[in-house]
Each structure stands twice: as C-alpha cells, then as structure tokens.
C-alpha cells in the first residue's frame, strides 16, 4: 500500500478485503493471463488494469460514512439534522 497516496488517520476505515472472493481472484488471474496489468493497490497509480478494491470494514462490520463522521457528533448542541428537506 502506497502511503504517499493514502491517509491513515481519518475516521473512515479504508482497507483491503481480508478474504477476497474466489470469483474475484479468478477474474484477476484471467485478466493477468490476457496481458492486463494487475496491482495489489489499484489506487497507487494504475490507470489501466485490474486489482482488488478496498472496503470500509471495521471490526468485521461495514462502516458507513455516517458511522465514521455523523455518529460521533450526534450529541453536539449545534447540530441540526433536517430530513425530507
């Protein structure tokens, strides 16, 4: 993972999938056999090719943007959430 293009201290977890699907791995293998470039970290400059995508998983549960950014500040007195606006 290329630390030059990735942050590591933000509230939203972004990390490789712990156990990639066998179907996805087969697809990557097929792409490589066809001559396509593959990368361990597709967001490190690979513009054409294939690689595994990252997920937002924390403690084995998907973490949403709401979990990361909104939930921690719900008790702020100056926060007003308007629904159906």
d(CA 40, CA 54): 10
Return the sign of the alpha-carbon dihedral for residues 13, 16, 17, 18: negative
Write down the pLDDT at residue 70. Answer: 96
Instruction: Report the pLDDT averaged over residues 22-28.
Output: 95
Q: pLDDT for 32-85, tens place per residue?
A: 999 998 887 777 777 788 988 888 988 889 999 999 999 999 999 999 999 999
Confidence of residue 1 (pLDDT cuts 50, 70, 90): low
Model-wide pTM > 0.75: no
Domain limits, the chain: 14-70
């Amino acid at each position: 993972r290329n630390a030059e293009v990735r942050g590591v201290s933000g509230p939203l977890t972004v990390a490789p999938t712990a156990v990639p699907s066998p179907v996805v791995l087969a697809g990557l293998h097929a792409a490589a056999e066809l001559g396509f470039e593959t990368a361990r970290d597709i967001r490190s400059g690979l513009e054409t090719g294939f690689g595994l995508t990252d997920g937002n998983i924390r403690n084995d549960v998907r973490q949403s943007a709401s979990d990361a950014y909104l939930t921690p500040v719900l008790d702020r007195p100056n926060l007003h959430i308007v629904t159906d606006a």
